[in-house]
């Protein structure tokens, strides 16, 4: 019996040991299965990013497919609540096709008259001379006139008194121009520098390609000369206007911000491969003139945003970057477009219309909020009414969304886990937009404003020095300001350079150079 007890104890210990080994093996298998699923999810995600559509638009309602929301009830609620606010929805008419006269408006027209030879103007029946009875337009053609370069040679005439010429102090006067040269000892003019800036910062043409263009025009200008033109004019003539825009920006109550990477080769104490950053700050949807500013910094530290926005008090719409929390005296608004983007990335391959999938459900909630935002915007209501409509329509959707979010328990380290964590960490700031109708629902406006820089970066790749990066930020500001106010970009750049603003100018003088100025609009329009 003693031996049997010993054997049973040994067998029991062996069973316990084997059970632990089996549990450990099962745990390892579970971890490996989760890891394999995570790898497969990552492969599907990267494949979609590489080969899939980059657009976030999709058709959520399919024939025979139930939707997360009851569209009929929602439409009834919208129709029932619309008269209470006494608002009218703008009629949606098909845009009329542009006529030929509208396309050619403002373009000089050269008439080419097609006439008969004199010998054909004799009537073959009676021999009488034929008379002109009318004309007909055969066709229109657009003729391209290549750019031409000419040299403006300034000659100063000198005058001397013939009576005093033989004296010890002859009286001589030299004629001088009213306006000083744009750059001393340089061929640069307002038009040539403005064209160089326009080509690079509006059309994304790097300087080495412009160098070839100038050679085609008949003059050799190397890229270093063109770069010096940009840096000098940006720091001497655009910087006072930039600082004026900056002061006006800080006076607003609603701002938006975004940032992206750039590369600067010769930054002191840093490797050429180091990432630098270009920041974008713009005014929000407060109905006042748009102000867009670019800013360069060596790092992405939140202190850069804190320094740039020093003195600002109000609502700041931005993405999920925590560095903006260093900016004091602000009410931060988070972007719902980023929330939807995280959820879209979490949808498994081929499950875009599987409404039992949690990620698809989350996207449906976001889409519903965006639909309400578009519906409110089309009503063209006041900001106070916009706030009330948001509370009435979007608040219930938000409450349902947070209830749904609390019930989620995704697999650790999965795309859905990252999306849920991202949303939970920004739950408070995602509802800030309900406090004021002028708050933006998403950060899309600032992302659209910074996109020209990201597109141009693919062409010119990097900046040579910090001075060049700062000049790029300044010139991009002027270009985007002209775009935002529907001005001719080249005309506006040329106008600023012709005016030669300096740091001695007052705000009243600089106000006249702003793109919302009536004088600037009349001189720099697109016609």
- Rounded to two decimals, the pTM is 0.80
What's the chain's length in residues? 527
499 touches 262 (CB < 8 A): no
**What does residue 94 show for φ and ψ, rounded to 5 degrees?**
-65, 130
Q: What is the token pair recorded at 421?
A: 């964590």
Q: Encoding tokens for residue 96?
A: 């009329």
Distance CA 524, CA 527 (A): 8
State the average pLDDT over residues 69-80: 44
Asked which of 66-75, 185-194, 298-307, 499-508 is least confident by mean pLDDT, the reply is 66-75
Q: What is the CA radius of gyration of the chain?
A: 34
- CA neighbor of 484 nearest in space, from 520, 509, 441, 437: 520
CA distance 376 to 515: 29
* pLDDT (mean) for 490-508: 93
| Count of other CB atoms within 10 angstroms of residue 372 | 19
**Token pair listed for 116:** 């008969």
Q: Which of 20, 41, 69 has the alpha carbon at shortest distance from 346?
A: 41
At a CB cut-off of 8 Å and minimum separation 6, what does 202 contact?
A: 452, 479, 489, 490
Q: Does the structure show a pLDDT above 50 at 492?
A: yes
From 33-47, 143-157, 437-451, 483-497, the region with the lowest mean pLDDT: 33-47
What per-residue confidence (pLDDT) applies to 58? 59
What DSSP string describes 244-274? HHHHHHHT-SEEEEEEEEEEBTT-TTS-TT-
Angular region, 501: left φ>0, alpha ψ -120 to 50, beta rest: beta
pLDDT of residue 86: 39
Residue pointed to by tokens 């003059």: 219
Q: What is the SS3 assignment for 490?
A: helix
Burial of 483 from C-beta contacts in 10 A (0-12 / 13-18 / 19+): middle
CA distance 510 to 160: 41
Residue 247: phi and psi, rounded to 5, are: -65, -40
Minimum mean pLDDT range among 34-43, 264-273, 389-398: 34-43
- Whether 361 and 397 have beta carbons less than 8 Å apart is answered as no
Tell me what the mean pLDDT of segment 505-517 comes to: 94
H helix intervals, 262-394: 302-308, 336-345, 358-379, 383-389
Mean of pLDDT values over 28-32: 82
Pairing of strands 254-263, 292-297: unpaired
Q: Which residue has the higher pLDDT, 162 or 229?
A: 229
CA dist., res. 200 & res. 94, Å (int): 36
pLDDT greater than 60 at residue 239:
yes
d(Cα 38, Cα 348) in Å, to the nearest integer?
A: 11
- Give the per-residue pLDDT at 218: 85
Taking the C-alpha atoms of residue 232 and residue 218, their distance in angstroms, rounded to an integer, is 24
Question: How does pLDDT run across 177-231, given as a tens digit for each residue?
Answer: 777 888 888 889 999 999 999 999 999 899 999 999 998 888 889 999 999 999 9
Residue 60 clears pLDDT 90, i.e. is over it: no
Instruction: Mark residue 239 as left, alpha or beta (left: phi above 0; alpha: psi -120 to 50; beta: remaining).
Output: alpha
* Helix/strand/coil for 360: helix
Q: How far apart are CA 461 and CA 264, in angstroms?
A: 9
Task: For residue 407, report the phi and psi dihedrals to the nearest 5 degrees.
Answer: -85, -5
CB neighbourhood size of 27 (10 A): 10
């Amino acid at each position: 019996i003693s031996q049997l007890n010993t054997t049973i104890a040994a067998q029991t210990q062996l069973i316990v040991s084997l059970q632990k080994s089996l549990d450990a093996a099962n745990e390892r298998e579970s971890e490996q299965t989760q890891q394999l699923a995570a790898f497969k999810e990552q492969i599907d995600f990267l494949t979609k990013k590489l080969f899939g559509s980059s657009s976030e638009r999709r058709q959520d309602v399919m024939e025979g497919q139930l939707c997360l929301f009851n569209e009929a009830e929602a439409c009834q609620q919208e129709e029932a609540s619309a008269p209470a606010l006494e608002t009218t929805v703008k009629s949606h008419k098909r845009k009329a096709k542009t006529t030929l006269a509208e396309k050619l408006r403002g373009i000089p027209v050269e008439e080419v008259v097609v006439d008969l030879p004199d010998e054909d103007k004799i009537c073959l029946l009676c021999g009488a001379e034929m008379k002109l009875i009318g004309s007909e337009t055969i066709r229109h053609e657009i003729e391209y006139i290549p750019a031409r370069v000419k040299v403006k040679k300034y000659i100063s005439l000198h005058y001397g008194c013939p009576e005093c010429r033989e004296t010890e102090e002859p009286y001589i006067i030299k004629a001088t121009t009213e306006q000083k040269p744009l750059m001393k000892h340089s061929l640069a003019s307002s038009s040539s520098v403005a064209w160089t800036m326009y080509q690079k910062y509006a059309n994304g043409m790097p300087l080495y390609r412009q160098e070839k263009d100038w050679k085609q025009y008949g003059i050799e200008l190397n890229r270093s000369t063109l770069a010096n033109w940009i840096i000098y004019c940006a720091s001497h003539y655009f910087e006072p206007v930039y600082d004026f825009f900056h002061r006006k920006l800080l006076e607003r109550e609603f701002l938006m911000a975004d940032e992206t990477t750039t590369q600067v080769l010769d930054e002191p104490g840093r490797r050429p491969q180091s990432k630098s950053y270009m920041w974008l700050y713009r005014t929000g949807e407060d109905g006042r003139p748009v102000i867009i500013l670019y800013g360069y910094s060596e790092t992405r530290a939140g202190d850069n945003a804190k320094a740039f926005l020093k003195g600002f008090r109000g609502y700041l719409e931005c993405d999920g970057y925590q560095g903006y929390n260093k900016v004091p005296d602000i009410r931060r608004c988070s972007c719902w477009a980023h929330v939807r983007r995280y959820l879209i990335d979490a949808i498994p391959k081929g499950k875009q219309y599987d409404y039992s999938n949690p990620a698809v459900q989350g996207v449906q909630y976001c889409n519903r909020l965006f639909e309400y935002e578009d519906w409110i915007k089309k009503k063209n209501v006041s900001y106070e009414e916009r706030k009330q409509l948001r509370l009435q329509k979007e608040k219930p959707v938000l409450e349902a969304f947070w209830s749904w979010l609390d019930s989620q328990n995704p697999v650790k380290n999965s795309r859905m886990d990252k999306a849920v964590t991202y949303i939970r960490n920004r739950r408070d700031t995602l509802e800030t937009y309900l406090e004021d109708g002028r708050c933006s629902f998403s950060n899309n406006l600032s992302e659209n404003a910074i996109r020209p820089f990201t597109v141009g970066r693919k062409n010119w790749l990097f900046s040579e020095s910090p001075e060049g990066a700062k000049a790029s930020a300044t010139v991009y500001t002027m270009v985007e300001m002209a775009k935002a106010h529907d001005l001719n970009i080249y005309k506006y750049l040329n106008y600023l350079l012709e005016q030669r603003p300096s740091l001695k100018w007052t705000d009243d003088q600089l106000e006249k150079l702003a793109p919302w100025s009536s004088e600037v609009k009349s001189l720099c329009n697109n016609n």
